[in-house]
């Protein structure tokens, strides 16, 4: 028999399991948003803890921009299969073909348009709740968001009209057409996520670990070279050792210089880092002081 003490991770884990079970019990038709990124990988382990030995009482849903890193998509498919749970993928390519999403150029960031495909998927399957891996430490709009975040018929978040959330009594009621986004790891930080990944020995896509990659220094970030991102005139390509802190749209997700080859080295780096997760890695959050807030109001996660 092994012994250990009840840690802050145990407290956060228990809270998250409690939240997932409330969703399962009170919502009619929930889904869990799984992208293959580290936060949603943690969600899957929490769902296993919440519902095994039974099946998950919800399918997994991925809104695929088709600008994702291939390692992440491979990982997504592998993990869903391993769990034996149903994975629904809805692609932005379809939204583009149907004219629901109109891009200015083929290579522009697709992050802002995910909302459209997500809202279409919600309507198609009549999901009344979507469980997501957003955390409040990511961004100041998130800091003010509830764990059960209510969206109106148009998928919009109204920051000044949120339901009060007291104790752990969550109000899950919706009218038809409305939707709730649920964030079980709201109270986790980036460091907590990595410590949990280490403790639970969770697999993550390889691009989270340090590897050699061709990048273009642009603005304050390092853009990864791909079929979507090529050097502009006057820019140069460098090959350096990097890892990704977040995995999103290839055209705007920047890696950071790193030597961290395994989870414990990532934890050591995360504990020391002086730049926020989104500050370092997301060009689309730096366009204005309120970019995340605006995207959320339009239906973003």
Partner 1 sequence: MSEVKNIRRDRAELLRFITAGSVDDGKSTLIGRLLHDSKSIFEDQLSSIARTSNKRGMQAVDLSLLTDGLQAEREQGITIDVAYRYFATPKRKFIIADTPGHEQYTRNMVTGASTANLAIILIDARKGVLTQSRRHAYLASLVGIPHLVVAINKMDLVGYSREVYERIRNDFAAFAQGLRLSNIEYVPMSALNGDMVVERGDRLTWYEGRTLMDLLENIDIEHDVNTDDFRFPVQWVSRPQTEELHDFRGYMGRIESGSIRVGDEVTILPSGLSSRIKEILLYKDSFEDVFAPQSVTLTIEDHLDISRGDMLVKTDQQPQIKKEFAAMLCWLSEQPLDSQRKYIVKHTTRMIKGMVNQIDYRVDVNTLNHETADSLKMNDIARVVMKVQQPIVFDDYARNRATGNFIIIDETSNNTVAAGMIC
Query: Measured from the CB of residue 92, what is the shortest distance to partner 1 in angstroms?
Result: 27
Q: Which one, 85 or 293, has the nearer CB to partner 1?
A: 293
Report the interhelical angle of 190-199 vs 263-272 (nearest 10°): 160
- Shortest reach from residue 30's CB to partner 1, in Å: 13
Q: In terms of CB distance, is 27 or 242 closer to partner 1?
A: 27
The least distance separating partner 1 from the CB of residue 162, rounded to whole angstroms, comes to 7
Question: Which residues are paired to 131 by β-bridges?
Answer: 32, 182
Contact 253, 246 (CB under 8 A): yes
Instruction: Provide, rounded to whole angstroms, the least separation between the CB of residue 275 and partner 1.
Output: 5
The residue ranges that bind partner 1 (CB under 8 A) are 1-8, 10-15, 17-18, 21-22, 24-26, 48-55, 136-137, 140-141, 143-144, 159-160, 162-169, 171, 173-175, 186-187, 189, 191-192, 273-276, 279-280, 289-290, 293-294
List the one residue out of 56, 51, 41 whose CA is nearest residue 17.
51
For residue 239, the minimal CB distance to partner 1 (Å) is: 26
163: left (phi over 0), alpha (psi -120 to 50) or beta: beta
| Contact criterion met (CB below 8 Å) for 153 and 126 | no
Nearest distance from C-beta of residue 117 to partner 1, angstroms? 25
Please, which residue, 78 or 173, has the CB nearer to partner 1? 173
Q: Which residues pair with 62 in a beta bridge?
A: 89
- Cα–Cα distance, 136 to 155 (Å, whole number): 20
Query: What does DSSP say about strands 148-151 and 179-182: parallel, antiparallel, or unpaired?
Result: antiparallel
Q: How far apart are CA 228 and CA 24, in angstroms?
A: 39
Q: Residue 44 or residue 242: which is nearer to partner 1 going by CB?
A: 44
For partner 1, the closer of residues 108 and 273 by Cβ is: 273
Name the nearest CA neighbour of 275 among 285, 265, 288.
285
Confirm if 265 and 296 have CB atoms less than 8 A apart. no
- Residue placing its CB nearer to partner 1 in the complex, 52 or 227: 52
Whether the CB-CB separation of 72 and 36 falls below 8 Å is answered with yes
Residue 202 CB coordination number (10 Å): 17
- Distance in Å, CB of 158 to partner 1, minimum: 9
For partner 1, the closer of residues 120 and 192 by Cβ is 192
């Amino acid at each position: 028999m092994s012994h250990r003490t009840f840690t802050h991770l145990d407290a956060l884990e228990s809270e998250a399991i409690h939240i997932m079970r409330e969703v399962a019990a009170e919502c009619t038709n929930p889904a869990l948003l799984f992208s293959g990124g580290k936060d949603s990988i943690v969600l899957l382990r929490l769902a296993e803890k919440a519902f095994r030995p039974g099946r998950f009482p919800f399918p997994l849903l991925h809104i695929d921009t088709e600008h994702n890193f291939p390692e992440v998509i491979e990982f997504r498919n592998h993990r869903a299969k391993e769990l034996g749970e149903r994975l629904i993928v809805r692609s932005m390519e379809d939204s583009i073909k149907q004219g629901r999403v109109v891009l200015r150029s083929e290579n522009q960031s697709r992050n802002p348009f995910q909302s459209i495909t997500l809202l279409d998927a919600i309507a198609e399957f009549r999901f009344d709740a979507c469980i997501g891996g957003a955390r409040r430490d990511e961004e100041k709009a998130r800091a003010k968001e509830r764990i059960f975040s209510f969206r109106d018929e148009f998928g919009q978040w109204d920051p000044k009209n949120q339901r009060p959330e007291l104790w752990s009594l969550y109000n899950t009621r919706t009218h038809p057409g409305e939707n709730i986004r649920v964030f079980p790891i709201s109270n986790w930080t980036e460091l907590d996520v990595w410590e949990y990944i280490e403790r639970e020995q969770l697999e993550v896509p390889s691009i989270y670990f340090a590897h050699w990659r061709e990048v273009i220094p642009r603005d304050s970030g390092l853009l990864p070279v791909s079929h979507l991102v090529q050097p502009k005139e006057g820019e140069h390509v460098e090959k350096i050792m990097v890892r990704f802190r977040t995995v999103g749209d290839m055209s705007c997700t920047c890696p950071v210089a790193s030597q961290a080859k395994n989870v414990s080295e990532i934890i050591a780096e995360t504990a020391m880092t002086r730049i926020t997760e989104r500050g370092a890695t997301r060009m689309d959050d730096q366009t204005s002081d309120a970019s995340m807030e605006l995207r959320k109001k339009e239906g973003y996660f």
